[in-house]
Structure 1
Amino acid sequence: MAKKEIVWSSLAKLQLQNVLEYYFIRNESPAYSLKLLNEIEDLLETLSYSELIGRLTSNKITRVISMKVYLIFYEINASQIEIVSFWDNRQDIKNRKVK
């Protein structure tokens, strides 16, 4: 399978940024945030070649991959994969938004 471009929705970017900033402030160091970002990049590199590794959600369009305590929701288009949400499972599910 050919490699697809990974793009992030503005919501997913904001969610990821909030998680990274939270750990930067909490730990008073960028170390964990950088480690998490590297793990996300590694997973997305795999996803770019194997787009069907995530399971389908109930809407039958969006797929989800779990990574530790995080869920990465994405949708597959003809030429790219769009990350639509980056969710920390420790948050209240009532606040979860996909797109």
Structure 2
Amino acid sequence: MAKKVIVWSEIAKLQFANVLEYYVERNGNPNYSLKLLNEVEDLLNTLSNSELIGRLTSNKFTRVISMKVYLIFYEINGNRIEIVSFWDNRQDIERRKIK
């Protein structure tokens, strides 16, 4: 199986950036955010080689991977994997709905 290209939707980029910024501000340093960034990069590297590791969601084309308190929602489109949402499970579940 060929390695797939990972692309982030604008919403997912914003969600992930907000999480990273929150922890920099809350902790007064970037250490946790850098650690989280490295963990996400490692997971996405694995995903690019094994795109079916996430479980299907109820809409039957979006998949989700759980990573600690975060959910990474993605869709497979040909040779690309699009990250459609980066969700912190501690947020309001009603805002998480993927349309």
Q: Compute the TM-score of the two structures, normalised by the length of structure 2.
A: 0.97
What residue is the counterpart of 2:73 in the other structure? 73
Distance across 1 between alignment mates of 2:26 and 2:97: 24
The aligned counterpart of 1:5 is 5
In structure 2, the residue matched to 1:90 is 90
Q: CA deviation at 1:97?
A: 4.2
Q: Percent identity?
A: 80
How many residues are matched?
99
| Structure 1 unaligned regions, length at least 5 | none
Judge conservation of contact 1:85–1:97 (CA < 8 Å) in 2: no
Map of 1:43 onto structure 2: 43
Measure how far apart 1:79 and its partner are: 1.3
Post-superposition offset of 1:40 = 0.1
Off by >6 Å, runs of 4+ in structure 1: none
Gap regions ≥5 residues in structure 2: none
Q: Calculate the TM-score normalised by the size of structure 1.
A: 0.97
How big is the alpha-carbon RMSD for the aligned residues of Structure 1 and Structure 2? 0.9
